[in-house]
């Protein structure tokens, strides 16, 4: 079963899928190990991991390659930020093929004018509706696997109002999109109105400190959302812990005690050491096999 088919199966059989955001394979694997059914690749996080703010500086190549790294690292489906599709309908076709061919299960594409800005920043420029609809149509028709999941995002709330955002969401569904992502609703009432007024599955973007008030995920599920993405949680957590560790080392010249809880090999096991050890045993020559127990002992002592 393709990851895209698995995503559709999971969507059909459960209330709301919660997808924490990852920007590298470490995050993606931890999300999977924590038992989440879906990984979200955040564009803001991917930009940050390459040393840039989320100002539309990354290229399709960089985004698709990173999404591909996440997709090959986990068994659960990965959905990814694909910004505006990086141009017109032709660029959109290429975008879908680049993500799909890397094993990504779905992408969200938005109606901002390129270069885009983070959905929760001001001064976003929006494409005309008919341009947006034709790009969604191009995306839908570009996929090879009909299960590849197209999420239509609209950023129109800020400059054109909530009704226009709903109109665009429904127009995108009509053009063949599988799910609608109304970005940055500005009140709980608007959040609640999204699944009521959109004539298909809806995605909720849970952003801390953005334009949308804080929402309890239980509540979001009751409102009828089918996917909740939490783009920034791991990046924020990492930044906080990195700062804390660096501060301690700089101030006290010691490694904080809470990092002293596992051996290197235990850490490697979070990233597939058991499978690779099995492979090593499988292909070892006789003399290597004789040495192997020693090697493992070495790893443990480390």
Partner 1 sequence: MKKPTTILRELLAGDEPVRAPGVVDCIGARIVAKEGFEAIYMTGAGTTASRLGWPDVGLLTMTEMADNAQRIAEASGLPVVADADTGYGGPLNVQRTVRTYERAGVAALHIEDQRWPKRCGHLDGKTLISVEEMASHIRAACDARHDQDFVVIARTDAIAVEGFEAALERAKCYEEAGADVIFVEAPRDMTQLASIPRQLKKPALFNMAASGKTPFLSVEEIKALGFKLILYPNFMMLAAIPAMHKVLQELKRTGSVKGLVGEVASFQDFFNLLGMDEVKILEEKYLTDKERRVRY
Residue 252: active-site member: no
Return the ∠ at Cα 214 (arms to 229 and 207), rounded to 5°.
40
Residue 205: active-site member: yes
109-148 binders of partner 1 (CB under 8 A):
114-115
Residue 118: active-site member: yes
Helix (H, G, I), strand (E, B) or coil at 52: coil
Q: Which is nearer to partner 1, 141 or 243 (CB)?
A: 141
Q: Which residue's entry shows tokens 């059909």? A: 12
For 117, other C-beta atoms within 10 Å of its C-beta total 17
Q: Give me the catalytic one of 40, 98, 100, 168.
A: 40
Cβ–Cβ under 8 Å, residues 110 and 153: yes
Closest CA to 148 of 6, 18, 29, 15: 6
Residue 81: active-site member: yes
77-116 binders of partner 1 (CB under 8 A):
86-88, 90-91, 94, 114-115
Q: Which is nearer to partner 1, 104 or 228 (CB)?
A: 104
Residue 282: active-site member: no
Cβ–Cβ under 8 Å, residues 227 and 19: yes
Which stretch, 52-60, 144-152, 180-188, 230-238, contacts partner 1 (CB under 8 A)?
52-60
Residue 52: active-site member: no
Residue 110: active-site member: yes
Q: Give me the catalytic one of 83, 98, 127, 190.
A: 83
Q: Give me the catalytic one of 24, 111, 183, 190.
A: 183
Q: Report how far apart, in Å, the C-alpha atoms of 8 and of each of 1, 17, 59, 138, 226 are.
A: 11, 11, 28, 21, 11
Q: Let me know if 209 is exposed, middle or buried by CB neighbors in 10 A (0-12, 13-18, 19+).
A: exposed
Least distance between partner 1 and beta carbon 155 (Å): 16
Which of 16, 19, 41, 60 lies at the binding interface for partner 1 (CB under 8 A)?
A: 60
Task: Please give the structure tokens belonging to residue 302.
Answer: 């480390």
Least distance between partner 1 and beta carbon 59 (Å): 4
Three-state SS for 15-39 is CCEEEEEECCHHHHHHHHHCCCCCE
Cβ neighbours of residue 161 under 8 Å, at least 6 residues apart? none
Q: Give me the catalytic one of 8, 108, 120, 168.
A: 108
Helix (H, G, I), strand (E, B) or coil at 127: coil
Q: Which is nearer to partner 1, 128 or 161 (CB)?
A: 128
Which stretch, 51-59, 100-108, 250-258, 262-270, contacts partner 1 (CB under 8 A)?
51-59
Q: Report how far apart, in Å, the C-alpha atoms of 283 and of each of 97, 139, 299 are.
A: 36, 44, 19
How many residues sit close enough to partner 1 to count as binding (CB under 8 A)? 16
Q: Give me the catalytic one of 54, 111, 178, 190.
A: 54
Which stretch, 57-65, 185-193, 194-202, 234-242, contacts partner 1 (CB under 8 A)?
57-65
Residue 83: active-site member: yes
Q: Which is nearer to partner 1, 69 or 74 (CB)?
A: 69
Q: Which is nearer to partner 1, 121 or 188 (CB)?
A: 121
Active-site positions read: 40, 54, 81, 83, 108, 110, 118, 153, 183, 205
Note the residues at the interface with partner 1 (CB under 8 A): 52, 55-57, 59-62, 86-88, 90-91, 94, 114-115
């Amino acid at each position: 079963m393709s990851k895209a088919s698995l995503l559709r199966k999971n969507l059909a059989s459960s209330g709301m899928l919660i997808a924490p955001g990852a920007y590298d394979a470490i995050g993606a694997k931890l999300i999977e190990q924590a038992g989440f059914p879906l990984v979200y690749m955040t564009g803001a996080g991917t930009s940050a991991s390459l040393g840039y703010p989320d100002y539309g500086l990354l290229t399709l190549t960089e985004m698709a390659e990173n999404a591909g790294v996440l997709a090959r690292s986990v068994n659960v489906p990965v959905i990814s930020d694909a910004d505006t599709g990086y141009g017109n309908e032709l660029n959109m076709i290429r975008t879908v093929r680049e993500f799909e061919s890397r094993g990504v299960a779905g992408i969200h594409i938005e109606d901002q004018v390129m270069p885009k800005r983070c959905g929760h920043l001001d001064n976003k420029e929006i494409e005309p509706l008919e341009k947006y609809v034709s790009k969604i149509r191009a995306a839908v028709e570009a996929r090879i696997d009909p299960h590849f999941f197209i999420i239509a995002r609209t950023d129109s709330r800020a400059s054109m109002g909530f009704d226009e955002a709903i109109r665009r969401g429904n127009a995108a569904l009509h053009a063949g999109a599988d799910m609608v992502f109304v970005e940055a609703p500005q009140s709980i009432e608007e959040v609640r109105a999204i699944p009521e007024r959109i004539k298909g599955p809806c995605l909720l973007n849970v952003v801390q400190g953005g334009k949308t008030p804080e929402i309890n995920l239980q509540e979001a599920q009751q409102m009828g959302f089918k996917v909740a993405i939490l783009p920034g949680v791991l990046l924020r957590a990492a930044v906080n812990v990195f700062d804390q560790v660096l501060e301690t080392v700089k101030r006290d010249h010691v490694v904080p005690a809470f990092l002293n809880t596992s051996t290197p090999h235990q850490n490697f096991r979070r990233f597939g050491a058991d499978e690779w050890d099995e492979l090593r045993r499988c292909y070892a020559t006789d003399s290597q096999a004789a040495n192997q127990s020693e090697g493992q002992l070495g790893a443990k002592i480390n």
